Structure 1
Amino acid sequence: MRGASKVVLEIVEGDGERAADDERTFPLARLELPVPQPNAEPSSNVFDVDYHYDRSGILKVHATARHTGTVMLDEELDCFGPDGTPIAQGADRELERLLRRIDEPAPRPASSAPPETGASRTEPETWEEPAGEGAPALVVDGRGIMTAGRSAASPRPPSMRLLGSALHEIRRRYAQHHVVAVIGTDLVDLVEYDEQELLERAVQEGLIVTVPSASPQAVLSVAQQLNAVVVSMDDLRRLRLPYPWAAEKERFVKLARVERHWVFT
């Protein structure tokens, strides 16, 4: 609009098929950009925006005027810092939903359809009821598990069946814990169509928590609020400065995939 002196840029993350005000759509930032030429034609003020996370969960936002190359915005936002950023509030909403699910288990249908021919044999065991009320929590870093064995040379989609087989082994080892996996919303969008229903059911039943960023800080933030043991394929103890409890005995368990087996190290 001619004469406008600023533009408000709102960045959210979530499933593109969900409404903007859906409880699983996370507001990341609301930023103001100065308009370079307020009195010029609107086409003269077209700009391009790039934003992405780094491995530490920092959201980097860069806006550039298309015609002149003028930098309109260059910011870094600590999405999981202690300042109550919107993304952290979104993760808190997911935790509240999870805790409600633990306290008030969702009713199971009276009967379920028989598994399709060729379905994974581990699937019925994978999504069994969690431990009873009052059980200690165990948080699983789901990203590395779902993408185990994937690489740029082998760009297969993240696998719910890989996550399911890992959770089955984790529950066998930690039978007295309520086990919940944490994954980023970016993985939700990449799961194959035939696994989407399985993922949706696991989220609704409180077996999976989705967070806006799949950074290690997101996993540790959830675990810290639940006072939980953490299981990950990544060595999260490297983050012991901001999360000193992660280095405590029996608070962190490293998981590895050896051939087709899950191994605790």
Structure 2
Amino acid sequence: MPSTTEPDAQGAHFVGGTPFFASQHDQRILYALYVPKDHTAEAAPLPLVVIQHGTGRSAELYRDRWKDFAIKHRCVILTPLFPAGLVEPRELHSFKFLEYEGIRFDEELLYIVDEAGEQFNTETATFYLHGFSGGGQFAHRFFYAHPDRLAGVSIGAPGRITQVDDSLPWWLGTGGFKERFGIEVDLDAMRKVPVQMVVGGDDVETWEINNVGGPNWMDGVEKTGRTRIERLECLRANFDEHGIEVRFDVVPGVAHKGSAVIPVVQEFMAELLNQR
């Protein structure tokens, strides 16, 4: 008989850095986690930190870069993966705008979060969300739709922003938001959520975000700024106009690289976790 002290061959893959699992709601959508190895089903549930990938889909990289944070601050890291080409070959940007061809990416994230809560003993009533670049686009639009589910949101260097402004059409603004998503933008709820905006001080290349005529372009984007720094400053001003407080971090010497702003994002998240 095998020793009772031997590792559990099945259970060993459900702690630490996990494999990518298929969402049971839509198996085209995946997620992985980092779960502290001493966390058990009998323990109190741990807080959940969701790190949303950008266009490059670097979900595994982010999971691994947040490992030490999870161990130190006693939380679970969840990294969703919305595959490219999900509906159409070579399609890259759909998840950033919450909905595409009938797929509601905001709702799919909530299904994943709830599933993770059931399977990995983590808190799901509210969670913490960070995204960089395309992930930053998703994060702030998710914030508009579901502020009640967020304990904090970190918006990293979005190339295209959506302002809280019903006079502008979606996705430049929130015009038609309720008709499109069936949800009212709840400013009172948004004002209760701690918000970070973060961008590198050298994030000034514009080739990817000033692509007039591209599949992720709308006329009017150019009015929000030339660089990602300027566009994030525009979003901060918009939030300020609506009474939404923002911690604004410009990281010196950093260009457009999500992994390079992780320490500043972790500082923000650690402060929130320590205040629990």
Q: Normalized per residue, which structure has more helix?
A: 2
* Higher-strand-fraction structure: 1
Q: Same fold (TM over 0.5)?
A: no
Q: Using CA pairs below 8 Å that are at least 6 residues apart, which structure has the higher relative contact order?
A: 1
Report the TM-score, using the length of structure 2 for normalisation. 0.28
